[in-house]
A = this chain, B = another copy of it.
Amino acid sequence: MEPKNVSRATLGRLPLYLKELETLRNEGRITVSATVLAERLKLGDVQVRKDLNSVCDTGRPRIGYRLEDLEGCIKALLGCKEITPAAVVGTNRLALALLEYEGFEKFGIRLNCTFSLKDEEGTDEISGKPILPAKKMAGYCAENRIALGVIATGKAEGQKACDLLCAAGVTAVWNLSGADVTVPETVTLRSENLALSLAHLNLRSNG
Residues of A bordering B, CB below 8 Å: 2-4, 6, 8, 11-12, 15, 77-79, 84, 86, 92-94, 96-98, 100-104, 106-109, 147-148, 150, 171-172, 174, 178, 188, 190, 192-207
- 9 residue pairs of the A-B complex, CB under 8 angstroms, read A4-B203, A4-B204, A12-B196, A103-B194, A104-B198, A107-B202, A108-B202, A150-B198, A188-B204
Question: Are B94 and A202 in contact, CB atoms less than 8 angstroms apart?
Answer: no
CA distance A4 to B6 in the complex (A): 22
The residue that A12 contacts in the complex, of B101, B171, B193, B205, with Cβ under 8 A, is B193
A7 CB to nearest chain B CB (Å): 8
B97 adjacent to A202 (CB under 8 Å): no
Q: Are B201 and A148 in contact (CB under 8 A)?
A: yes
Structural contact, B109 and A100, CB atoms closer than 8 A: no
Q: Is the CB of B207 within 8 A of A4?
A: yes
Residues of B within 8 A of A172 (CB): 201-202, 204-205
Interface centre among A107, A178, A203 (most CB of B within 10 A): A203
Report whether B190 and A107 are in contact in the complex, using a CB–CB cutoff of 8 Å: no
A100 touches B104 (CB 8 A): no
Contacts of A86 in B (CB 8 A): 198
A104 CB, nearest partner CB in chain B, Å: 4
Name the B residues within 8 Å of A193 (CB-CB). 12, 15, 103, 106-107
